[in-house]
């Protein structure tokens, strides 16, 4: 069958378009997955920073509280 597709221009062109379309979809999905991975990494960094800020704020409040007592 694949040999016959090559002899009929319409089928050959159609199969080339289908392959190109699938390749385009795969490339786009790969880019989006890469972007999602970057977003997840950034979100983890933000969470880590928030945690450090929260700890620092608690320490600061405790020191202030002890100062006034």
Q: List b or e across 36-60, with b for residues whose CB sees 16 or more CB atoms inside 10 angstroms.
A: eeeeeeeeeeeeeeeeeeeeeeeee
Average pLDDT, whole number, for the chain? 83
The pLDDT of residue 39 is 93
Taking the model in full, what pTM does it have? 0.53
Per-residue confidence band for 68, with pLDDT thresholds at 50, 70 and 90:
low
55 pLDDT above the threshold of 70: yes
- pLDDT of 28 reads 92
Instruction: Please check the confidence at residue 2 and state whether its pLDDT lies above 60.
Output: no
Instruction: Specify whether the CB–CB gap between 12 and 6 falls below 8 A.
Output: yes
């Amino acid at each position: 069958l694949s040999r016959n597709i090559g002899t009929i221009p319409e089928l050959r062109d159609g199969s080339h378009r289908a392959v190109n379309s699938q390749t385009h979809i795969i490339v786009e999905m790969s880019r989006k997955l890469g972007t999602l991975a970057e977003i997840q990494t950034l979100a983890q960094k933000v969470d880590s920073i928030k945690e450090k800020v929260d700890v620092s704020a608690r320490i600061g409040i405790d020191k202030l509280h002890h100062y006034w007592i």
